[in-house]
Amino acid sequence: MEAKKSLGQNFLIDNNVLNNIANVINVSEDDLVIEIGPGQGALTKYLKNKNCYLLCYEVDKDLTKYLDNLENNKTKIIYQDILKSNIKEDIKDIKYNNLFIVGNLPYYITTPIIKYLISQNLNIKEMIFMVQEEVANRFSAKPNSKDYGSITLYLQYYFNITKLFKVSKYAFNPVPKVESAIIKLEKRNKILDVNKDKYFKLINDSFNQKRKTLKNNLKDYDFNKILDVLEKYDLHENVRAEEISEEIFVNICNIL
């Protein structure tokens, strides 16, 4: 079958990589794993070996010939765009313990998929995804690095994010243009003490134009109040957003 570029189809063909991914997904038989984009079932087969509940969302109906024979009493394939799915409804009859979401994601919609999953309020314990390496760096970035930005802080509000390992582009067929990496997003137990919407607006505004200083990006804010917080952390007036940690952003948000 010819891979469909428009659907981000790059199928994993390296068994070592598949084994390494399967090894970092620690699930028990009473857990539920949702796989996004099973494709020809390369990873699905490894997930099935774990005997957990398994629900896969695949948008491409041409893949039924690879996937239908994987279904059994604990494994189900739903041929649907994950972004249009009603996951809560689809899993309501499954008596599972913890929810995991995994997948070698279609790269053209990595961030929309993760944002969609967050918006569904599913109580996800852990997500393990193959993403473009550059994206893995951004999601797991720390302050004072070029990869640190509003998406970093947005996702880290919900999850502890770790880049686990790199995956060569030659592990896929067809070979993509970019290198890849596996990331783990673990649910954070302690919710930040901050108004979520106000915090997300503050970080978006702060990184609005990356080359500008915080002060220039936050022209509509009372910067004197912000300066008080910056001084406490020995940061100068011309600081840029990428130098500011989550803790400091939370403090700034809480005095505004």
Which range in 33-41, 116-124, 178-186, 230-238 contacts ligand SAM by CB under 6 A?
A: 33-41
- Which residue spans within the chain are E strands per DSSP? 11-12, 32-36, 53-58, 75-79, 99-104, 126-132, 159-167, 172-173, 180-187
CB of 36 to ligand SAM, least distance (A): 6
Bridge partners of 173, per DSSP, are 11
Task: Give the CA distances from residue 194 to residues 4, 105, 153, 197, 250, in Å, rounded to whole numbers and listed in that order.
Answer: 43, 31, 13, 9, 6
| Interface characters, 46-65, with ligand SAM (x: CB under 6 A) | -----------xxxx-----
Residue with tokens 């948008």: 59
Residue 171 engages ligand SAM in binding (rule: CB under 6 A): no
Q: What is the nearest approach in angstroms of ligand SAM to the Cβ of residue 209?
A: 31
Binding mask 3-22 for ligand SAM (x = CB under 6 A): ----xxxxxx----------
Residue from 25, 32, 34, 42 that binds ligand SAM (CB under 6 A)? 42
d(CA 129, CA 114): 10
**Residue 2 burial by CB count (10 A; 0-12/13-18/19+): exposed, middle or buried?**
exposed
Q: Which residues bind ligand SAM (CB under 6 A)?
A: 7-12, 36-40, 42-43, 57-60, 81-83, 104, 106, 109
